[in-house]
Structure 1
Amino acid sequence: MRFAGKTVIITGAASGIGLATTQLFAREGATVFASDIDSVGGEKLAAESEGDVRFVHSDVTDPASIKALMDKAASETGGIDTVFNNAAAGGARPGIDEIEPEEWDMTMDLVLRSVAFGIRYAVPHMKGRKGASIVNVSSVAAVGPGYSPTAYAVAKAGVLHLTKCAAADLAQHDIRVNAIQPGFINTNIFTSTLEIPDEMKTMANAAIAQLSSNAQPVKRGGQPNDIAEAVAYLASEAASFVTGTSLIVDGGITIGPRHCWDPEEETLFAGLEAMEEQAKAAAAADAAGQ
């Protein structure tokens, strides 16, 4: 019961990582204010979770809605101990050569600005709370291209820098701020913005789950609970000496190109070595023929 007596805010709580994290914190004694724009999913989560889970409809692209969420939680429990800024989606998919200004702004509002104001409006209710902690969701997409659409990757890189800046700003209030960088986690984030029927989304998610088991050195797909456990660590007393940093939970996908961990993957060096062996064999054959 690491979080007994604690008040915890989790955004994007109705599915995926947010749902798993809500359930974990509630099982371990926290009063969890689970927010989402999905009222049906949020109410279902609150009704079926073990522990004290209170659903609050909230749109993280609206700063006033974020403030109302934080104020409500504090008014009901006396303050806030942990905030998990989790809500996001894949955002706009076009590359930098095709994206429109409104698509860029929409992605930044959802992925980056929501985190900034999740911190901004929670902090007044966190000052003076022993062990106060904020955890933000970034992504492996923040470390380089190829993991996500461009706008999303840039926004998630912004979350990393925001985390460091916020940790510096809030150190005077004894509030720790850290980030988590998920890798290939089996949630609906990859299909949530696609304009296709729900049954096709279900099929696509199943295909993604199958492919993800071979996407990184750890030979299984990442699960929401993998991230939930890492968030719980960063929010707990066990991480009381940890602030301003990020924890990558990705099954090793960012350790290097595939050939460095997959022995079946052909590499440039292997190709050069094969050419060298062929040249030696040809030279030996020529020498034998002479």
Structure 2
Amino acid sequence: MATPTGRKIIDGIKPGLRVFISAGASGIGRAIADMLILHGAKVFICDVAQGPLNDFQKEYPGHSAVLADVSSEGDMARVFADAKAVLGGLDGLINNAGVAGPTGAVEEIAIADWRRCIDVCLTGQFLCAHFAAPMLKEAGGGAIVNMSSVAGRHGYAFRTPYAAAKFGVIGLTQSLAKELGPHNIRVNAILPGIVEGPRMEAVIRARAEQLGLPYDEMAERYLEKVSLRRMVTPHDVAAMVTFLLSPMGDNLSGQSLGVDGNVETL
């Protein structure tokens, strides 16, 4: 089912809420899509991976899934035009797409890798907001949720491009909250912590290899920095998104909300 419990966690979401989710075919994005659909939303997702898109479409034939790169202006212009045609408008934007970026000392990081990380993690969010804002205004308001990271709160040695992009997401969020608030559009950022899954495993493995440590020891070091001493799940992040899109989040805007078990430092 869509959630581990297979039941709704929040009541009161508007039936047929129209939501666009970037990178919605796997990981956190898929968990968000699953939960919002369970709560009655009409979802339109994009992703760069055709296989997961096919899986999503097979499970949810009544919802839309398209191949697109959020860092491409042309792709986003096309996708949001499609979303408007299919959904008839938009009530919510979930800016979820991101990449881990390179791990390495600043002098070792390739400029192309820096640019790719910024393009996807920050410019991609700007492009989605650029095309979504007119639709949200036409709807009389709505909500944008931008995916930042605990790396957007703490400096992150050897992950400079990622941290820089995620700090940028906080600035984007606070600026859009001020700009769009008079149009009844709420804008918030979610800062996930160490989220269990293949992507986090790859990050831990890369750092372990850099330091010459076993994977298990490196994973333990990561968790020692979390007050609750555990990873969070994609479901935890999806629950916060669902809350923000529900009436219970009506007066939350411009906020940076950690879903991280309290990561004390990085």
Match of 2:32 in 1: 21
Task: Indicate yes or no: 2:129 matched with 1:116.
Answer: no
Match of 1:77 in 2: 87
Task: Indicate yes or no: 2:102 matched with 1:92.
Answer: yes
Match of 1:237 in 2: 247
Shift of 1:208: 9.6
Q: 1:147 to 1:85 in 2, by over 3 A?
A: farther
**Which residue of 32, 35, 55 corresponds with 2:43?**
32
Q: Contact 2:148 / 2:191 at 8 angstroms: preserved in 1? A: yes
Task: Indicate yes or no: 2:57 matched with 1:46.
Answer: yes
Q: Contact 1:186 / 1:209 at 8 angstroms: preserved in 2? A: no
Q: Contact 2:226 / 2:262 at 8 angstroms: preserved in 1? A: yes
Match of 2:164 in 1: 154
Shift of 1:191: 5.5
Match of 2:22 in 1: 11
Match of 1:202 in 2: none
Secondary structure of 1:43's counterpart equals helix
Unaligned runs of 5+ in 2: 1-10, 207-214
Q: Contact 2:146 / 2:190 at 8 angstroms: preserved in 1? A: yes
Match of 2:227 in 1: 217
The amino acid of 1:251's aligned partner reads G
Q: Contact 1:209 / 1:221 at 8 angstroms: preserved in 2? A: no
**Which residue of 138, 159, 183 corresponds with 2:193?**
183
Identity over aligned pairs, percent: 31
The range that moved more, 2-11 or 208-217, is 208-217
Match of 1:287 in 2: none
Secondary structure of 1:95's counterpart equals coil
Cα distance in structure 1, aligned partners of 2:247 and 2:201: 36
Shift of 1:129: 2.0
1:126-141 → structure 2 map (5 Å cutoff): 126-141=136-151
Secondary structure of 2:195's counterpart equals coil
Cα distance in structure 2, aligned partners of 1:139 and 1:253: 11
Q: Which protein shows a greater Rg?
A: 1
Cα distance in structure 2, aligned partners of 1:78 and 1:192: 39
Cα distance in structure 1, aligned partners of 2:104 and 2:27: 24
Q: Contact 1:26 / 1:52 at 8 angstroms: preserved in 2? A: no
The amino acid of 1:77's aligned partner reads L
Unaligned runs of 5+ in 1: 197-205, 258-290
Q: 1:46 to 1:215 in 2, by over 3 A?
A: farther
Normalised by the size of structure 2, how large is the TM-score? 0.84
Secondary structure of 2:118's counterpart equals helix
Normalised by the size of structure 1, how large is the TM-score? 0.77
Q: Contact 1:89 / 1:189 at 8 angstroms: preserved in 2? A: no
Match of 1:226 in 2: 236
Q: Contact 1:108 / 1:155 at 8 angstroms: preserved in 2? A: yes
Q: 1:161 to 1:147 in 2, by over 3 A?
A: same
